[in-house]
Amino acid sequence: MPPVLINLVACFVAFGLLARLTPCNPTTRPFVSRDMIDNALYWFVGFLFFGDLATIYIKGAASLLGAGGPVAASDLLNGYGPASHLPLLVQAVLVIVVMDFVQYWLHRLFHTSWFWPFHAIHHSAEDLDWTTTYRIHPVNLAIYGVGALAIVHIGGFSAAAFLIVGPFNLVAGALVHANLDWTFGPLRLVIASPVYHRWHHVRDPAVHDRNFAPTFPVWDVLFGTCHMPRGELPQSYGADDVPGNFVAQLGWPFVVTWRRLRARGPARVGAPAV
């Protein structure tokens, strides 16, 4: 069985069983949520079309910086850039931290008016569970996911560092979306927990403009976007106005954007205030 399928099966079993034992929202089905089919379709689109997009980004950046110069595309892609001289463990830690910082700001960007329709697809899941990780519109994925990876690649980290970080990212992304009541106690503002990220997904716009950091809440603390009330658990997820099926969702952000352009103004359609 391919590693990617092994990971999906392991997540299905592990997070399903854990959701039975310690759910954040007990009314959500632990194994097969109402949104799972759409989430699976988004996973398939991402897996099928975006595998080589980071390579295209990196080659483009290398060209802009001067091919054959200090930042050559072949060096970056093969892990021979400036950061590759650091100890491997240091590289892996830096990749995680830098990626998290970049994604924090890209995440905030997608909560602004013009980008929100593309990100609202991710927020439209009403049964929030680990499969929501993959519920990402292609435009959102191309900028937030693959774009952040390309930016980090420009640092010239070795390929081995990304291999080390890969499993961590797979588990961390699924974990923070899992239907678990875990807060990580004294580490609640050190590592993003399922409860921490679930607050970001609540339907209330006043709350879902918080907790942007994928892994390290320190960014939210530093920049004033942290929301982690003690003794409370998040409820009621979703995003207003988003269509209820996969096909309509793919086109909906473009329709919203076109209408705004025709109106010559960024009238918000279900977007949070930032």
Three-state DSSP state, 117: helix
* N-terminal to C-terminal alpha carbon distance within the chain: 44
The 10s digit of each residue's pLDDT in 87-117 is 999 999 999 999 999 999 999 999 999 999 9
Distances (CA, A) of 206 to 11, 39, 118, 271, 274: 31, 25, 19, 11, 9
Three-state DSSP state, 202: strand
158 vs 76: CA distance, rounded Å: 8
Residue 212 has pLDDT above 60, yes or no: yes
- Residues contacting 95, CB < 8 A, separation 6+: 152, 157, 161, 162, 165
Mean pLDDT calculated for residue range 44-70: 63
Distances (CA, A) of 114 to 103, 124, 274: 18, 17, 12
Q: Which residues of 161-186 are buried (b: 16+ CB within 10 A; e: fewer)?
A: bbebbeeebbebbbbbbbbbbbbeee
Res. 168 pLDDT band, cuts 50 70 90: confident
In this prediction, residue 164 carries a pLDDT of 87
In this prediction, residue 267 carries a pLDDT of 47
Res. 78 pLDDT band, cuts 50 70 90: low
Three-state DSSP state, 237: strand
Whose tokens are 């009330």? That residue is 229
Res. 214 pLDDT band, cuts 50 70 90: very high
In this prediction, residue 33 carries a pLDDT of 92
**DSSP symbol at 143:** I
Partnered with residue 202 across adjacent β-strands are 237
User: Do the beta carbons of residue 19 and residue 11 sit within 8 Å?
Assistant: no
3-state helix, strand, coil in the chain (%, to 5): 60, 0, 40
The 10s digit of each residue's pLDDT in 28-42 is 999 999 999 999 999
**DSSP symbol at 201:** T
In this prediction, residue 268 carries a pLDDT of 46
Q: Where are the domains of the chain?
A: 3-263
The pTM score is: 0.86
Least confidently predicted of 44-53, 73-82, 93-102, 171-180: 73-82
In this prediction, residue 17 carries a pLDDT of 97
Q: State the average pLDDT for the chain.
A: 86
In this prediction, residue 82 carries a pLDDT of 73
The 10s digit of each residue's pLDDT in 219-253 is 999 999 999 999 999 999 999 899 989 999 999 99
Distances (CA, A) of 59 to 77, 95, 103: 8, 19, 21
